[in-house]
Structure 1
Amino acid sequence: MKNIFLVFGLLCSIFFVSCEERSKAPDQGKKEAQTDRVAPPAYGDTIIEGSIGDASNLIAMLASDSASFDIAGLCYNGLVKYDKDLNLVGDLAESWDISADNLTISFHLRKGVKWQDGVECTAHDVMFGYQTIISPNTPTAYAGDFQEVAKAEVIDKYTFRVTYKKPFAPGLASWGSVVVLPKHILEGQDITKSSLTRAPMGNGPYKLKEWKTGEKIELVSNHDYFEGRPYVDGFVYKIIPDTATMFLELQAGNIDFMGLSPLQYLRQTKTKTFQENFRKYKYLSFTYTYMGFNLLNPLFQDKRVRQAISYAINKNEILEGVLLGLGEVATGPYKPGTWQYNPEVKAFPFDPEKAKALLKETGWADADGDGILEKNGKRFEFTVILNQGNNERRKTGEIIQRRLTEVGIKIKIRTLEWAAFINEYIDKKNFEATILGWTIGQDPDVFDIWHSSKTHFKELNFISYKNEEVDRLIMEGRHTFDREKRKQAYYRIQEILAEDQPYVFLYVPYALPIIHMRFRGIEPAAAGITYNFTKWYVTKAEQKYTIQP
């Protein structure tokens, strides 16, 4: 879980062959505070988290979906990570040195860290991972940060050094997730065909036990983990494509952990059962939701049309109607309140008359009086694709559909299963528009999503946005360590994105996780709640499941 913020909600049934339910005291919830004071941490139990989508690839540099990153993040460690206060601290690297000219980072690795087959993890594995991610034979969306490296060296078994072409601000953080791989297993292989795509051999806190596609991914704790054995023995990632069904499983006691909808948070979890057995949390999430346009489609190539669509959508209506007020209107790709967020960026308030005027200006008119605009004999209609199981996006789409109809634009909504949605539509640019969300990284670099060089197959600029000034500003922001200069670059990027409207930025929601009360050690912080997951525990008296060998 480390620095990846999960969409929580997992299911475990008592019928899983790996779990055996124990009896629990009926007044467990009432004894919560007292037990917290007197019962020590204990090893054992299983946590059940639900996901609306399955993973696709457990080699993180090959993945493009959050489920894959969630699981890979429990099986592999990077060189650095974010702590609870969002400061970069050592992970596989116990320390590092940065040269005075900000070009060279020397990582000093921990000694004795083992891959899960017992082979030691060394600087040679870091080098192998680096060489793999920059290889033209590796289909990855994340090579950009590592292509900034001019020279990589293994100084000795525990020292890895990189020298950048020019100062690179996101450089240190980039070594936090997808790079380190077991050379002794993967060397000489086609990484895309490796068994590790489904059976990771990691160095992290958990190991894969079983993966039933479309049903569950089951992990067990790594007792030899270098930071210490995790207290919770089992982790089950249960795929439940529908969040309403997931909530019923939570209510029945078959789920430990999920992300609530605003309705569930405000109204459906106030019963005695929930108050006695679960804890709820609320904080502004590190995500935003948007409607993105395929800019290769002639419908969307005039920015005035995109602006008109944005004016026609009532974002506050979505915020209140879908999120019940539990969020903020988004204006760009950054979380409100962060140093890179521009509070003065141009807003697109609900203004249907302005929308109609812009559409008329671009040649769209209702020539036959049927309520739908036409231009050169073509009706203004398109399809918005959504992923299955996300009711907030579905409701958002329905509000957008109604509002666009009022200005003469007809849209259809199509819901797709997650794997097909990503692999057959998004990655292949086989769509007209989509409602999706991004996780907001701690470093403000937006190269992978907004730079014009990142528009290829399986890369993250899948809407094909291209703007020369944005490209230049992204590179300026990447290549200075001066925060004020970076801030100026990112402020201007937000202004340009607001003008171009390649996305209609919709909202930043609150994260609303709910967790069974038997799990202790949860300490909310700036990083959320999962940064210290390996330290969560259940007291012996309250443990519910045992891991079967």
Structure 2
Amino acid sequence: MFKNLLKSSVTIALMVITVVLLSITIAMLNNTEHNLIKDNKLLKSRLEKAELAAAGAQNTSRDSEIKGPNAKYALAFTDPQNLLSIDPVEWIPENATKGGMLKSYLGSDPKGLNFLTQNGSDVSALQGYIGISLVGRHKEDTSKYRPELAYHMARTEDFLTYTFRIRDDIFWHKPTLDETNPQYKWLFEGNTCRDGHFINERCRVTAHDIVYMMDMMMNNQVAGAAPGRSYYSNLKEYKAIDDFTFRVSFSKKTQTQDRMVRGIFPMPEFLYAYDEDGERYDDSIAGTKFEAHWYDPNTIGAGPYRFISFDPSVKIELERDPRYPLGGNAYSKILFQIVNEDLQRVRKFKNEELHYTGLSPSQYRTEVLEADEKSPFKNGTFGSGEFWSHTYFYIGWNNQSPLFSDKRVRNAMSHAFNADLLLEEVMMGLGKRCTGPMPAFLPQYDQTLPPIPFDLEKAKNLLEESGWIDNDGNGIREKVIEGTKTEFEFSLTIYGSSKEYKTIGDIYKEDLAKIGVKMNVQPQEWSNLLKKVDSKEFDAVTLAWVSSPDVDFRQIWHSSEADKPQSSNYISFRSKAADKIIEELEEEFDVEKRHALAKQFHKLIYDEQPYTFFYTRQNKYYWNKELENVKAQLTRPYLNARAWYLKGE
């Protein structure tokens, strides 16, 4: 009997403990849910208070009312927690003519048109017409951000959580497929759209599309997303709070992620998450299928222009989306012609087959500097302008190669590169010498570091110090590497359509021959050049980086990026000292301290010479006077034709 009583007591005690534990768990869950609801209510409360404040001021501030596409969200911009503000500079004037076809160009076929996996400047430019981001910079004050897909951006005081509220009137374009093909019936009937968001034959953009983009970016199967993924090492979580609210949280406060979250954009889950028969990919293969999707080489967006067609080596066509509410789409159509020869581009421009063009340095010499006053580039026939781009041009040395693993050798290569002569005589003086990993006009740039001088004797001495000596007298230096006699011979990969870089390659080849180094010039078309860079199948390569007014060095220079597929650190540069500065810079918010750290990094890279730095470019551009309102933007894409329009008949 005692045993039975004891057994019953133990059973009751266990049941009590179970109930207590269950109650605690439920309480914790309820508390988490309560905090989330409280957080959402707080933001809604702020907006309601802003609404009352705005209503009270309505009679005294009529002149400052928000008009146009942001009017329906005007109250959000009275919330002091909103990090976004209305850009006072409109895309185009109210009296701008609508219609016509803009005749534009690209210098080569894009490597691909997936906006997440391709980060070339040509694809980024196209994304500006086809896609939409959460936010964008103001056109004149680039320190401020304007609403795009998001009309409200909030950040917690600890800089760890960011919440975006997005518009409800942005829709994905119709896919560029045969709508009559029964195989795609699922797609055109909205079967894979979120419930309630297939409206007037198009899927609405929701917060779930932002989540899907983040899913793909963070998926290691998506090699092309590696550069963007490198900035999210502190990512804690991201979620759709509801259909029109997206939240992302981090485990650590950094200045870099405060900037990077502003570049987030949606990807169409209803299309890319499914196979050609409308079946959703299993999570185990979703990234692989996204990387090489059946919809390629087409693209899709929710921006001002819809992608129509891509005819490789010929053209890309876009058409105006009449349902896009945010403006900047005056043309009915845009034709991007693939023009990979500079002479052909100028001829097309003169024949009015293009509405605008830049001039390469050799063309600038022919059409402007050496032309008589009758030249249409000088007599007022064409409009003209110039801008400085956030660029630096360089030769990148494969640091994994036994030829260039020694910094003394890389410094020798820089001393053998006659940059001053090449800038003046080949690039027509259209730029300024650059000594480090940022545009030469930024405040973070260390102006005290002198450009590496052309000095073949210094180059010879550095090569000899590092063991490269011409022992057999054949005119080429050699060195025993891992037991094998190796001659100093390498290939310089250049952009094959650039007349200037062919000339630079030939001059550099001659100068290197004078110091016992044999260089072969290897021209490549743009898409092939990028493939070689991605696979690290090169000795040295001529390229350029285009940045923003902010500087961040992780993607290109951090050691952790050196071995990642398709990483921007394709030269495999590794330095613990550089990593330390990069990490300190990411966590520093004080502007002056950030500038000081950037200059430290500049000096370190200057000493290491993983690149031979060349110059920051000044760009000349010209336009047919059918175009109105033409001017360059302060940030990329500099020649953004969304702000222009064609004259009426």
In structure 1, the partner of 2:535 is: 428
Once the two structures are overlaid, the 10-residue window that deviates more, 172-181 or 456-465, is 172-181
| Contact in 1 for aligned 2:633/2:640 (Cα 8 Å) | no
Give the Å deviation of 1:460.
0.9
**Which has the larger displacement, 532-541 or 283-292?**
532-541
Query: Tell me, what secondary structure is at the counterpart of 2:203?
Result: coil
**Range 348-357 or range 165-174, more displaced:** 165-174
Task: Report if the CA contact (8 A) 1:83-1:527 is conserved.
Answer: no
Identify which of 122, 135, 150 aligns with 2:236: 150
8 Å Cα contact 2:254-2:588 kept in structure 1: yes
Of residues 62-71 and 461-470 in structure 1, the stretch that sits farther from structure 2 once superposed is 62-71
Counterpart residue number, 1:119: 203
User: Does 1:89 pair with 2:146?
Assistant: yes
Q: Which moved more, 1:79-88 or 1:121-130?
A: 79-88
> Does 2:221 match 1:137?
yes
Q: Which residue of 2 aligns with 1:397?
A: 505
Q: CA–CA distance in 2 between the matches of 1:375 and 1:121?
A: 60
Alpha-carbon distance in structure 2 between the residues aligned to 1:89 and 1:479: 25
* SS of equivalent to 2:132: coil
Deviates more, 1:526-535 or 1:204-213: 526-535
Partner residue, 2:54: none
How far has the Cα of 1:407 moved from its partner?
Answer: 1.8
Instruction: Render the CA deviation track for 1:276-317: whole Å, top value 9, x for unaligned.
Output: 442222122221110111111101111001011111112111
Count, aligned residues = 503
Deviation per CA, 1:496-517: give whole Å up to 9, x if none: 1111111000111112222222
Query: Shift of the alpha carbon at 1:66?
Result: 2.5
> Which of 453, 458, 462 is the equivalent residue of 1:349?
453
Letter in 1 for 2:561: K
Q: How big is the shift at 1:176?
A: 4.6
Task: Work out the CA distance in 2 between the residues paired with 1:416 and 1:395.
Answer: 14
258-267 vs 137-146, which moves further: 258-267
Instruction: Work out whether 1:490 is the aligned partner of 2:598.
Output: yes
Cα distance in 2 for partners of 1:195, 1:180 equals 19
Match for residue 373 of structure 1? Answer: 477
In 2, distance between residues paired with 1:505 and 1:200? 35
1:304 to 408, 414, 421: 408
1:383-532 to 2 correspondences below 5 Å: 383-423=491-531, 425-455=532-562, 456-527=564-635, 530=638
CA contact (8 A) 2:148 2:326 kept: no
Q: Is the 8 A contact 2:102 2:333 kept in 1?
A: yes
Return the alpha-carbon distance in structure 1 between the equivalents of residues 109 and 637 of structure 2: 22
Residue of structure 2 in register with 1:35 after alignment: none
2:304 aligned with 1:205, yes or no? yes
Q: 2:443 aligns to what? A: 339
Structure 2, unaligned runs of 5 or more: 1-92, 175-201, 274-279, 282-288
Question: In the alignment, what sits opposite 2:8?
Answer: none
TM-superposed CA distance for 1:472, in Å, is 1.7
Partner amino acid, structure 1, of 2:434: A
Runs of 5+ unmatched residues, structure 1: 1-37, 542-549
What corresponds to 1:33 in structure 2? none
Query: Does the CA contact (< 8 Å) of 1:397 and 1:435 recur in 2?
Result: no
* Poorly superposed stretches of 4+, deviation over 6 Å: none
Q: CA deviation at 1:178?
A: 5.9
TM-score by length of 2: 0.74
Q: CA deviation at 1:323?
A: 1.3
Counterpart residue identity of residue 82, structure 1? R
- Give CA deviations for 1:481-500 in whole Å, capped at 9, x if unaligned: 22223222211111111111
| Aligned amino acid, residue 370 of structure 1 | N
* Equivalent residues of 2:433, 2:440 under 8 A apart: no
> Are 2:333 and 1:234 aligned?
yes
Equivalent position SS for 1:339: coil
Higher Rg of the two aligned structures: 2
Deviation at 1:156, TM superposition (A): 2.3
Higher helix share: 2
More divergent stretch after superposition (467-476 vs 109-118) = 109-118
Q: Secondary structure at the match of 1:231?
A: coil
Identity of aligned residues (%): 27
SS state at 2:309 partner: strand
Secondary structure of the residue aligned to 1:282 is: strand
* Cα distance, 1:361 vs structure 2: 1.0
Higher relative contact order (CA 8 A, sep 6+): 1
Are the structure 2 counterparts of residues 77 and 224 from structure 1 closer, same or farther at C-alpha, using a change threshold of 3 Å? same
Tell me how far 1:75 sits from its aligned partner: 1.1
RMSD (Å) for aligned C-alpha atoms: 2.2
Q: Does 1:361 align with 2:465?
A: yes
Deviation of the 1:252 alpha carbon: 2.3
